[in-house]
Each structure stands twice: as C-alpha cells, then as structure tokens.
Amino acid sequence: MENNKSTLIVFSGDLDKAIASFIIATGSAAMGNQVTMFFTFWGLNILRKDQYVSVQKSLMDKMFAKMLPRGPEKLGISKMNFGGLGAKMMKYTMKKKNITTLKELIEMAKELDIKMVACTMSMDVLGIQQEELIDGLEYAGVASYLAEANEAKINLFI
C-alpha cells in the first residue's frame, strides 16, 4: 500500500471523542500514512498541561482558563457525563480492560511522528498561550490545515 495522508480536525474536547481521534490517528500512522491532527476550539483542552502555568492574561481569558478542563485527565465525556462520573466510569472500565489511555495515546502519536497542530486563531479566542500547552506541537492556522487536507485521502472533523 502506498503512503497516503490523513488529517483530523479535533474540534471536540470530550474524552470519548478525543480517544476516538487518537485511535484513528495512531491507527492510520501505524499503517504508514502521514497523519496531521489539527486541534481547534475545545480540542485545545486535550493539549493543555495538567498543572497551572503562570502567564499574563486578561480577565476574560482568565475566566476561560478556569472553566476549561486542563488536559486528558480532566475531560468529560459527550454523553452521560453526570458531572464527571461517566468519564470516571469510562476510564475505570478502559483501564480494567487494558485499553490504552488517552495520555498513552498522545505519547504514541508523538512516537509515530503524527503532526499535532494547535490552531492559533482558537488559541487567541480562548486566550490560551503556547506555554500552557504540551511540548512537541506545531502552531498554525486554517490555511495550513487546508493545504494538507487538499492532498489527503482521509479527512475527518471530530
């Protein structure tokens, strides 16, 4: 099989959708495809460092930062979250069944050379700064995503 490109826009910051995104992305990379994940809006929450990072922010940006979950451990699920209980249940059952966690999937994505891009416009809207996101990311806008998607075989919006 020849090498193809795949792109995923990760718009959602839900744990279940984040897991789905990374399973598709790492699966595609493992097949030999070149994969780009473009994280935008709530999807940026997946990339936040789990500890607080001290940066200068406007009041509104501070409010967003408070309200938005910080990294993989803090995400809720898209259905039946029940204030976090659903997410806990899902993580518990995935652990028990030896299914890779989101944190491990992110590490796998890096090892498989998946290009993880943070959408700079969304970072601007939500007041998120580079220091607050995990290492190993690229930073770009929608034009960069579109150039890749135009050449890719698989393009998904999640």
List interacting residues with a copy of itself (CB under 8 A). Answer: 1, 4, 9, 11, 13, 16-17, 20, 23-24, 27-28, 30-31, 33, 40-42, 60-61, 63-64, 67, 78-80, 89-90, 92-94, 96-97, 99, 121, 124-125, 127, 142-143, 145-147, 149-158
**Phi, psi (rounded to 5 degrees) for 154:** -120, 120
| Tokens (6 digits) for 66 | 């408070």
Q: Residue 98 or residue 135: which is nearer to a copy of itself going by CB?
A: 98
CB 154 to a copy of itself: min, Å: 5
- Output the smallest distance, CB 135 to a copy of itself, in A: 26
Cβ neighbour number for residue 55 with a 10 Å cutoff: 14
Closest CA to 5 of 38, 37, 35: 35
End-to-end Cα separation, the chain, in angstroms: 26
DSSP state of 48: B
Nearer to a copy of itself, 19 or 133 (CB): 19
Q: Of the two residues 51 and 98, which places its CB atom closer to a copy of itself in the complex?
A: 98
Nearer to a copy of itself, 136 or 156 (CB): 156
Say if residue 137 is exposed, middle or buried (CB neighbours under 10 Å; 0-12, 13-18, 19+): middle
Q: Smallest distance, Å, CB 44 to a copy of itself?
A: 12
